[in-house]
Amino acid sequence: MLPFDSSVIFVLDEPISSKSAKSGDLIAVHLKDALTVGGRVLAPAGTPAKIRITDVQHAAGGDVYGFVDIFFEPLVLPDGRTLPLRAPVERLSPHTTAGHESTVQAEDTVGDVFVPYYVLWQIMRKGKNFVLKAGSELPARTEATLTAMPNGIVAIQTPHPPQTETNVPKSSFPVEPEATPFGPYGGTKKAHATPSPTPWPSPAWPTPSPSPSA
């Protein structure tokens, strides 16, 4: 078995330079050694692959260094399947040591004191571009586990996607309900039958007495 996040070495077929590279460029590389799992060759040495340039910054004045951001395209295996890869270092930039930086700061301090208009030269000073020549080795990491099965097949198993919280997030402010619940504990009011009306008795009016005849 080849565990997840194992190292695989590739060789550059063409250089990578922050001076000439552009975002979206594809750089050709090939597999340095055969990818073998359980004595079975999954990909022979020399299997081609691609590196995509995702972002570039050219060296500029003010001692700004150039860099290149890279992304490994999945490795296409001879049987048609793909092996996902990732770059352990996605940003490639010139390596500077602490000693180099302290030396530059000391030189700038001396120049500011003794050299007229040194500040202007310091502003115009151009940084370094990142350059990786063809034939250089570049590592990648596997994004799947490779397992040799008893039937002779090498299985490629990618990890399960991370579980996300399914609960509804709580609101930071109270929400007005569409209808106010009835009673202190909510719920709906139980309907009661309306009683049928009861007739009132007719009023007893006094009977008028007959008027006397003339």
Q: At 183, give phi and psi (nearest 5°).
A: 80, 170
> What residues does each domain of the chain span?
7-94+129-157, 96-126
pLDDT in tens, 37-83: 988 999 999 999 999 999 999 988 767 789 999 999 999 999 999 99
Residue 27's CB: how many other CB atoms inside 10 A?
Answer: 22
pLDDT digits (tens, 9 = 90+) for 123-164: 556 678 999 999 999 999 999 999 999 888 899 998 877 666
Q: List the helix and strand counts (H, then E) for the chain.
A: 2, 15
| Residue 73 near residue 49 (C-beta atoms within 8 A) | yes
Decide: helix, strand or coil at residue 75.
Answer: strand
